[in-house]
Amino acid sequence: MKAWRILASGLICMMLLITMAPQSFTPYKTVVAQEEKTVWKRPFGYNPPPVGHWNFFISGNIGVFDWVLELMTHYFAANGTYVPCVAESWQLDPNYMWFQVKLRKGVKFHDGHELTYKDVLATLYCVYLLKDRLWYYIKDVQVIDDYTIKFTFKEKTDYPVFYILWHWMIVSYTQYGSIADKVQARIREGKDIFANTADFQDLIDELKNYRPETVIGCGPYKIKSVDETKIVLEAFADYWNGKPPIDEIHLIRYATSDLVWQAVISGEVDYVWAISPAPELVKQLEANPWAWTIRIPRPVGVTLYINKAKYPLNMVEVRRALAYAINRTEVGWVQYTGGCVPSPYVIGFNVPDLTRYLNQSFIDKYLKDFKYEYNPAKAEQILQGLGFRKGADGVYVTPNGTRLEFTLVTGGSWINAPAAENLKAQLEKVGIKINVQVVDSAVWTDMFYKGAYDLSGGVYGSPGFSFDEYYHKYMALYPGHDPAKTWGQMHSVPWKTQPVNVTKLALDINLFPAQISQAQLTEIYSTLSYITGNEVPVINLYAPAVVIYMNKRFVFPTDPRYWSGLGSYELHGLRPLFAFGWLKPKIALTVLASEGGTTSLAPGSYEYAKGDKVTVTATPSSGYNFERWEVDGSPAGTSTSITITMDRAHTVKAVFTRIPYEMYIGIVVVIVIVIVAAYFILVKRKRK
pLDDT tens-digit series, residues 460-475: 888 998 999 899 888 8
What pLDDT sits at residue 27?
Answer: 39
What pLDDT sits at residue 684?
Answer: 61
What pLDDT sits at residue 153?
Answer: 95
> In the predicted model, is pLDDT for residue 31 greater than 60?
no
Q: Which of these, 251, 248, 217, lies nearest to 234 by C-alpha position?
A: 248
For residue 223, is it within any domain? yes
What pLDDT sits at residue 396?
Answer: 98
Backbone angles phi, psi at 421, to 5 degrees: -65, -35
Last residue of a domain, one of 579, 603, 632: 579
For residue 299, is it within any domain? no
> In the predicted model, is pLDDT for residue 38 greater than 80?
yes
**Mean pLDDT value across residues 429-456:** 90
Same structural domain, 540 and 593: no
pLDDT digits (tens, 9 = 90+) for 286-303: 899 989 999 888 888 999
In eight-state DSSP terms, residue 268 is S
Same structural domain, 26 and 111: no
CATH of the domain at 383: 3.10.105.10
Same structural domain, 126 and 210: yes
What pLDDT sits at residue 297?
Answer: 81
- Give the SS3 label for residue 629: strand
Element (H, E) at 511: none
> In the predicted model, is pLDDT for residue 433 greater than 50?
yes
Higher pLDDT, 67 or 28: 67
562-593 in b/e form (b: 16+ CB < 10 A) is bbbbbbbbeebbbbbbbbbbbbbbbbebebeb
pLDDT digits (tens, 9 = 90+) for 157-190: 998 999 999 999 999 999 999 999 999 999 999 9
Q: Which of these, 191, 67, 194, 175, lies nearest to 126 by C-alpha position?
A: 175
> In the predicted model, is pLDDT for residue 12 greater than 90?
no
Same structural domain, 406 and 471: yes
For residue 679, is it within any domain? no
Last residue of a domain, one of 579, 597, 630: 579
pTM recorded for the entire structure = 0.80
Percent of the chain with pLDDT over 70: 91
> Cα(348)–Cα(416) distance, rounded to whole angstroms?
20
Q: Which of these, 383, 486, 373, lies nearest to 432 by C-alpha position?
A: 383
For residue 569, is it within any domain? no
What pLDDT sits at residue 340?
Answer: 86
What pLDDT sits at residue 685?
Answer: 59
Cα dihedral across residues 436, 439, 443, 448: positive or negative: positive
What pLDDT sits at residue 128?
Answer: 97
> In the predicted model, is pLDDT for residue 5 greater than 80?
no
> In the predicted model, is pLDDT for residue 3 greater than 80?
no
Same structural domain, 649 and 616: yes
Same structural domain, 243 and 374: no
The answer to whether residues 641 and 581 touch, using CB atoms and an 8 Å cutoff, is no
Alpha-carbon distances of 101 from 73, 89, 127, rounded to whole Å: 11, 6, 18
**Mean pLDDT value across residues 310-319:** 95
> In the predicted model, is pLDDT for residue 596 greater than 60?
yes
pLDDT digits (tens, 9 = 90+) for 61-112: 999 999 999 999 999 877 789 999 999 999 999 999 999 999 999 999 999 9
Same structural domain, 190 and 119: yes
What pLDDT sits at residue 614?
Answer: 95
What pLDDT sits at residue 25?
Answer: 36
> Cα(622)–Cα(598) distance, rounded to whole angstroms?
11
pLDDT band at 510 (very low <50, low <70, confident <90, very high): confident
For residue 210, is it within any domain? yes
Same structural domain, 467 and 610: no
> In the predicted model, is pLDDT for residue 455 greater than 90?
yes
What pLDDT sits at residue 16?
Answer: 44
Same structural domain, 56 and 20: no
The answer to whether residues 43 and 272 touch, using CB atoms and an 8 Å cutoff, is yes
> Which of 101-105, 397-401, 481-485 has the lowest average pLDDT?
481-485
Q: Which domain holds residue 614?
A: 2-36+585-663
Same structural domain, 153 and 238: yes
Last residue of a domain, one of 530, 559, 579: 579
Alpha-carbon distances of 449 from 344, 445, 454, 576, rounded to whole Å: 28, 6, 12, 33
For residue 258, is it within any domain? no
For residue 374, is it within any domain? yes
What pLDDT sits at residue 22?
Answer: 42
User: For the chain, how many structural domains are there in total?
Assistant: 3
Same structural domain, 108 and 164: yes
> Cα(476)–Cα(181) distance, rounded to whole angstroms?
27
> In the predicted model, is pLDDT for residue 521 greater than 90?
yes
In eight-state DSSP terms, residue 471 is I
CATH of the domain at 116: 3.40.190.10
> In the predicted model, is pLDDT for residue 17 greater than 50?
no
> In the predicted model, is pLDDT for residue 664 greater than 60?
no
The answer to whether residues 80 and 165 touch, using CB atoms and an 8 Å cutoff, is no
Supply the mean pLDDT for the chain: 89
- Give the SS3 label for residue 570: helix
What pLDDT sits at residue 353?
Answer: 73
Same structural domain, 58 and 29: no
For residue 186, is it within any domain? yes
What pLDDT sits at residue 569?
Answer: 82
- What residues does 529 pair with on adjacent strands? none
**Mean pLDDT value across residues 403-426:** 93
For the chain, the 3-state helix, strand and coil shares in percent, each to the nearest 5, are 35, 25, 40
What pLDDT sits at residue 666?
Answer: 56
> In the predicted model, is pLDDT for residue 388 greater than 90?
yes
**Mean pLDDT value across residues 185-203:** 95
